[in-house]
Amino acid sequence: MTSRRRKKMDSIQLLFLLYITGAYRITPTAALQVVTGLQPLHLQIQQEATYAQVARARSSSKVFTVILRSTDYENKSSELHIHPHNFLLHNQISFRENYRDSGAKAIYIDESKTDEGTGSAYCILENYGIIASWQGKLDHNNSVFQAEILAIKMAIEAASSLHRPIKIWTDSLSSLMAILNPISHHSMVREIQTLLLSHIHIHLRWLKAHVGYLGNECADQLAKESITKGDPFFLSKPLSYLKYEIRPATLSIWQDNWDNGETGRSTHDIVPRVSNKPVGWNREELMFVTGHGPFPSYLHRFNLQTTARAERKEVHCTMPQNVGLPSPGISELQQCHLNYSG
């Protein structure tokens, strides 16, 4: 973005910053942006443009020192892959069926995420015992939703060889809602939709988490263990993580501009680090720090005062003899003389 356009963006944003802070009109825009925690408008535009370039145009981009490759992130699909007339998944997915632990063969899935990584797992139970299981280890960049969707897909593939009805139980309501969405853009969700329609004997069910169901507790334990013991499984980073990576890179550009700028230096001495959180100053504190307020030097700068130095004033006040105060000497304070520097 050219310097001229940046100045134009700053002039637009300045109007809103003045309304928010009540600052003087010529207060440096850079200082107001830092104090309010609002990124410069041209950086916000650049941030959104970078996201669109990588996520939608599928081309690589560089923000500050961070290189963003489109191949590292999920690719959204836009076309309708299943005709609405054939989209009958509501017959295979239910949220309302009451769970009953009868000992029949069923599959339970769960996921776990910690600072060490993300885990995904399923277990097949029959007669209250685990007869098969799977554990997958994902990167810490992968989301909980990705781990849950992966577990559902792996469970469906495991159940596809069976020739009798089987239920897959999950405590992830968001995953089931995504699978029921006929226009979902998530590639793995679309794969699951195709698999389910090809295997109508497989049913997905929702159950409440952490209420003591044996299958759910087993899957939860396997998911936690999979973070360190599971088979490594590569999935592209979610687009939500793309925003997470762009944000600090944009913040670094803002910090560099703030450190090397020519305006707002008095504010920079007190607030050297930029942040998306407001400093919390009131109007008077803001005027004092920026130096843009009813000060002699400021008024002289705009020919509103003859000198840049403070003028010495005298204020005389007369106090009545009887003011109703208990102090015996208060009646003697008939004249008060106050000298101050304006």
Ordered DSSP codes for 145-191: HHHHHHHHHHHHHHHTT--S-EEEEES-HHHHHHHT-TT---HHHHH
CA distance 101 to 222: 19
Radius of gyration of the chain (CA): 33
What confidence score (pLDDT) does residue 309 get?
Answer: 63
**In 160-270, which ranges are continuous DSSP H helix?**
173-179, 187-198, 214-229, 239-259, 265-270
Cα–Cα distances in angstroms (integers) from residue 154 to residues 108, 135, 283, in the given order: 11, 10, 59
pTM of the model: 0.76
Digits of tens for pLDDT over the chain (342 positions)?
788 999 999 999 999 999 999 998 889 999 999 999 999 999 999 999 999 999 988 898 988 788 899 999 998 887 888 989 899 999 999 988 777 777 789 999 999 999 889 999 999 999 989 999 999 999 999 999 999 999 999 999 999 988 789 999 999 999 999 999 999 999 999 999 999 999 999 999 999 888 888 999 999 999 999 999 999 999 999 999 999 999 999 999 999 999 999 999 999 999 999 999 999 999 999 998 988 877 766 666 666 666 656 555 544 444 444 444 444 443 333 343 333 334
CA distance 175 to 180: 9
339 CB burial (10 A radius; 0-12, 13-18, 19+): exposed
CA distance 101 to 54: 47
CATH superfamily placement of domain 84-235: Ribonuclease H-like superfamily/Ribonuclease H (3.30.420.10)
What confidence score (pLDDT) does residue 308 get?
Answer: 58
Domain edges within the chain: 1-75+236-295, 84-235
Question: 3-class SS at 117?
Answer: strand
What are the structure tokens assigned to 143, written together?
């989301």
CA distance 27 to 251: 22
